[in-house]
Amino acid sequence: MRKTLYSSALRATKGAVAAVGTLPGAIIGSGKTSLFLRGQKQALTAARTFKPGPLNFWFHCASLGEYAIARPLMAEIKRRRHDARIALTFFSSTGVEALKRRPNPDADFVGYLPLDTPANARRLCDCFRPSAALFMVSEYWPNYLAELKARRIPTYLVSCIFTEKAPHFSPVFGPVFRRSLQAYTRIFCLSQNSVSTLAKLGFDRAEVEGDPLVDNALRIAETPWHSPELHNFCTQGPTLICGSIHNGADLDLIAPEINAHPERRYLLVPHEVDSASLNRVRDALDVPCRLLSDYIPSMPERVLIVDSVGLLAYIYRLGTMAYVGGGFSRQLHSVLEPAVYGLPIAFGPRTERKVVARLLLKLGTATKTQTPEEFSAWADRYFNAPTRELAEIRRLADKFCHHQAGATSRIISTVLAGL
C-alpha cells in the first residue's frame, strides 16, 4: 500500500514536471529549476542514445559533489576493463551542465535520472542494460532499486553515511525504503556508526571501505593545471581561499574579516555564480573587489571573486589557507580538496555527515568557526603563521590523505568480482 502511494506521488510529480516543462522560457526562467524541468522532459529520450555493450555500468550521483566520488571509480573500471561502457546520471542539473562544459572521458553517456516511477525504472534499465549499478552516498530510489533487484543486477551504494534520520525510519514511507535496502548487493560505508545503524534495520552486507573522494582529490592534486590570472593574483602574498561559499551564513561569517583587513588577499569562490549571487557577495563587501573574468595583472584590488564553476579543486593549490563553505547546513563541501594541498582549513559548525572533517579536526589541521570573531582569530593566526607551522600542517595533512587512499581500488575489485 505504501509503495503504491509512493509511486502514485511520483507519477503525479512527473505529470506536474511535464506540464511545467511546456511553459515558455520567459515564465520558468533559465536557472537550475528550468534546466531540471527541461532535463526531466528529455531524460528518457536522451538515455536511449546510450549504446550498451557486453559490459555496462550505471553510475548515479545526486549532484556534482557526489560525482567527485564516482569519477575515480569510473576511471578505475575503464583502466581494468577496456570493453566497459559507462552511463552516468544525475538528479540535479549541476552535474549534467558541468559535464557538458568539461566532458568526462570515462562516461559514455551523461544525463538526467528520470523520476522514480516503475515505468521509468523499467525503461531506463532497458536503455542501459547494466551489468552492475553504483549509487553514491545516499540514493534510495525504491522503484529503481526494485527493478534492479528483479533483474538480479549487482547494485552498490558507495560512501554511505547512514543515520536514524534516513527515510527508512519514517513512520509513513519507512517500510518502502527499508525493503529497497535489500536491493543492494553491498553498501560501502564511511563509518562504523553507519554499519551499526544499517544493522538495526537487518542489513548485514555493509562494511567500512574508505572514501574514493580521497583518491579523486589526490589525483586532481597531481594533475598539471595553470591559470595565469589566478597564479598572478595568489603569488603576490598570503591568500585565503574561501571555497563554495553560500550567500547567507558563510558570507556573514567571512565578510567582517575581509572588510576589516583591506591589506590582506582573499580569493572568493561562490557556490552559485549567477549574477544575483555574485551581486550579493559584492554587496556584502566594503572593500574593492573584482571578478575573475575582469582580471588584469595590474589590478589594485585584493579581493578576487571567481565567477566560473568547476575549478575549485585546482584553485586550492594556490592558497595559504582555506575556508570551506556549507558548514552551517548539512551540506559542508569537500574538505579533502584543500587538505591534499596541506592547507589549514576552517569551516562552519555542522560536521555530522562529514567523517573526514571530524578526522581533520582531531588531527589539528582544521578548525570550526561559528562566529565572525572566531573566523577572524583563525585568519589572523594563519596570515601570520611562521613557515615551520605551515610546513607541519602540510606534513600532517599529506600523511593523513595518503593513509586514507586506496578505497577506489578495493571497491572496484569487489564490484568486478561480483559480475
Average pLDDT in the chain: 92
Give the per-residue pLDDT at 27.
42
CA atoms in the 13 A half-sphere facing the CB of 227: 20
The rounded average pLDDT for each run of 10 residues, N- to C-terminus, in the chain (419 residues) is 54 47 45 84 96 98 92 97 97 90 93 97 98 96 97 97 91 91 96 95 95 94 95 96 95 98 97 93 96 94 93 96 95 95 98 91 97 98 97 97 96 98
Give the per-residue pLDDT at 317.
98
Q: Nearest CA to 4 among 202, 85, 313, 12?
A: 12
Is the CB of residue 264 less than 8 Å from the CB of residue 238?
Answer: yes
Strands (E), 286-406: 290-291, 303-305, 321-324, 345-347, 366-368
Cell of 150: 528483479
CB atoms within 10 A of CB 396: 16
Helices (runs of H) and strands (runs of E) counted in the chain: 19, 14
3-class secondary-structure state, position 83 = coil
This prediction's pTM? 0.83
For the domain 220-404, what is the CATH superfamily, name and number?
Glycogen Phosphorylase B; (3.40.50.2000)
Give the per-residue pLDDT at 21.
46
pLDDT (tens digit per residue) in 118-168: 999 999 999 999 999 999 999 999 999 999 999 999 999 999 989 998 999
- Amino acid letter, residue 185: T
Q: Domain-by-domain residue ranges, the chain? A: 55-209, 220-404
Those residues with Cβ within 8 angstroms of residue 356's Cβ, 6 or more apart along the chain or in another chain = 211, 213, 214, 335, 336, 339, 404
Q: Following DSSP, what letter does each residue of 162-227 receive, concatenated?
A: --TTSGGG-TTTHHHHHHHHTT-SEEEESSHHHHHHHHHTT---EEE---HHHHHHHHHHTS----
The CA distance from 396 to 363, in Å, is: 8
Q: Nearest CA to 100 among 161, 154, 35, 195?
A: 35
DSSP secondary structure code for residue 81 in this structure:
-
220-404 shares the fold of 55-209: yes
Give the per-residue pLDDT at 13.
53
Q: Which CATH class is domain 55-209?
A: alpha beta
